[in-house]
Structure 1
Amino acid sequence: MLTDTIIEDDRWQTADLPALAERAAQATLRHLSLDPALWEIAVLGCDDVRIATLNADFRGKPQPTNVLSWPEDDLGPDTPGHPPAPPTPEGGKGPSHLGDIAIAFDTCQREAQEAGKPSTDHITHLIVHAVLHLLGYDHIRDQDATLMEETEVAILGKLGVDDPY
């Protein structure tokens, strides 16, 4: 398994977060020609209270957000709009850790409802988005945002999820 999902909020069981996270993460790595068997990602299914605490602790923003990610390595490119360097696995030690993701049930459900889309599609999008962050993609600079969004749309299309943008 590529993902190791920890459920802190039981409402994630109904959404089957472990299966959604695994499918989205696998599709993301495969799209980028990375072997999922060489990697592992920890996913935390939490609520708005927990993610607000994490957001405050790590980003100085004491409010809930939909998803957070913590890459194991900084793979971001120096040149705007260029793809990140691919990660390199540690040899012989089993799967290498790409990083951690936390996703908030309350915010995800609210956003999906407001957008009129299935919550499974929105959750899938957020996991793809977070995995791309683990791989060095970002959306701070305009050129990087364009690359990240185009990559997300391509991956989501392969998963049968409509363009979220």
Structure 2
Amino acid sequence: MLMDVMIEDRRWRALDLGALAERAGRAALKHLNLDPEAFEISLLACNDARIAALNEDFRGKPQPTNVLSWPSEERTPARPGAVPAPPEPGDDSELGDIAIAYETCASEAESGGKSLADHATHLIVHAVLHLLGYDHIRDEDATLMEACEVAILGKLGIADPY
């Protein structure tokens, strides 16, 4: 199993977040020609209060956000728009950790006219790409990352979120 899911906020259970996260993570890795059986990701399904504390501790931003990710190692390429080098199975099997917040995700899904399941799937795909070295700070990197997200979500039957 790719995803090790810890559910702190029980509202995530109604969504069957474990199965949703597994499907999203596997789709992201397969899209990048990586074997999901060779890797592990930890996912914390929490609420806004918990993610706000994590956001303050790790980013100095004391407010909730939808999703956070902590890669096991830095994989972002130096050249803007370059594809990150893939991790190697074995020593590099733990890709990192993700936290996702219920209230923020539910609010964003509602305001965007999306289902919570589709929005959560998008955010998990987004976070998995972060673990793999994709980013959206530089314009060239954002273009690459968004194209990957749209392609992965399309394979899952989810419309372009952008």
Once the two structures are TM-superposed, the CA of residue 138 in structure 1 deviates from its matched residue by: 0.1
| Aligned position for 1:82 | 82
What is the RMSD computed on CA atoms of the aligned residues?
0.9
| Partner of residue 64, structure 1 | 64
Look up the equivalent residue of 1:65 and give its one-letter code.
T
Is 1:127 aligned to residue 110 of structure 2?
no
Write the distance in 1 (CA, Å) between the matches of 2:90 and 2:149: 27
**Corresponding residue of 1:151:** 148
Residue 8 of structure 1 is matched in structure 2 by 8
Percent sequence identity over matched residues?
67
Q: Distance in 2 between matches of 1:28 and 1:147?
A: 14
Q: Aligned partner of 1:39: which letter?
A: F
Residue matched to 2:100: 103
Unaligned runs of 5+ in 2: none
**Deviation for aligned residue 1:90:** 2.3
Offset, 1:160:
0.2
What is the CA-CA distance between 1:96 and the residue it aligns to? 1.6
Q: Once the two structures are superposed, what CA deviation does each residue of 1:80-113 show, in whole Å capped at 9, x if it has no partner?
A: 001100011225xxx8210000000000000000
Residue 70 of structure 2 aligns to which amino acid in structure 1?
Answer: W
Correspondence for 2:37 = 37
Number of paired residues? Answer: 162
Match of 2:158 in 1: 161
SS in structure 2 opposite 1:75? coil
| TM-score of the two chains, using structure 1 as the length reference | 0.97
Equivalent-residue separation in structure 2 for 1:111 and 1:19 (angstroms)? 21
